[in-house]
Amino acid sequence: MKKIILALAGLAVLAGCATQPGELREQDLRRPSYFKTERRINTDFVGIQRALFKHQAECGKAAVFKMDERQASYGTLRFELEPGAGWDKSILVDLTLMQKGWVDAKVYSYRADVKAEIKEIFTSIRAPGVCNPDDAPKEVLPEDDFVPVAPV
């Protein structure tokens, strides 16, 4: 009888941890089918955070930076397409801090129509406080920088 009660208790705990059926999780977005583009960001994590804080203060919206608590060279950005959105209505940017000081960024989204929002994310880092990405100075890429590898 004790084994049955323990088994049922274990199932109840597991059921409480599960996501709702059909609910997209962060790790689900990392599938190749949701990959949108990759870029190089010519600053480190501190520079990205400063830019995002400034952009949030001046424009009222910015991606949220989160560092991987286990590895200091990895982090993410989450940009919600609407307040309180789940991962199905968010853009995920995986960040890898490289030894030479720049950050490689890989962008994922469940939604196909996010080209303008991706531009907004990278503009907020490159030109914080410029609320309309079309008003930002044009980006000049060094020859060895990444360019988008997949249509966005």
User: In the block, which residue shows the tokens 């424009």?
Assistant: 59
Does 105 map to a domain?
Answer: yes
Number of structural domains, the chain?
1
Q: Please state, for a pLDDT cut of 90, what percent of the chain lies above it.
A: 68
- Cα 14 to Cα 56: distance, rounded to the nearest angstrom: 37
Q: How many CA atoms lie within 13 A of 147 on its CB side?
A: 6
pTM for the model stands at 0.77
E strand or H helix that includes residue 39: strand 35-41
Residue 50: pLDDT above 70?
yes
Does 15 map to a domain?
Answer: no
Structural domain of residue 107, as residue ranges? 24-135
Contact 131, 62 (CB under 8 A): no
Does 150 map to a domain?
Answer: no
In this structure, what token pair is assigned to residue 35?
Answer: 């990959």
52-75 per-position pLDDT tens digit: 999 999 999 999 999 999 999 999
Rounded to the nearest integer, the mean pLDDT of the chain is: 84
What CATH number corresponds to the domain at position 103? 3.30.310
Does 144 map to a domain?
Answer: no
- Cα 138 to Cα 152: distance, rounded to the nearest angstrom: 19
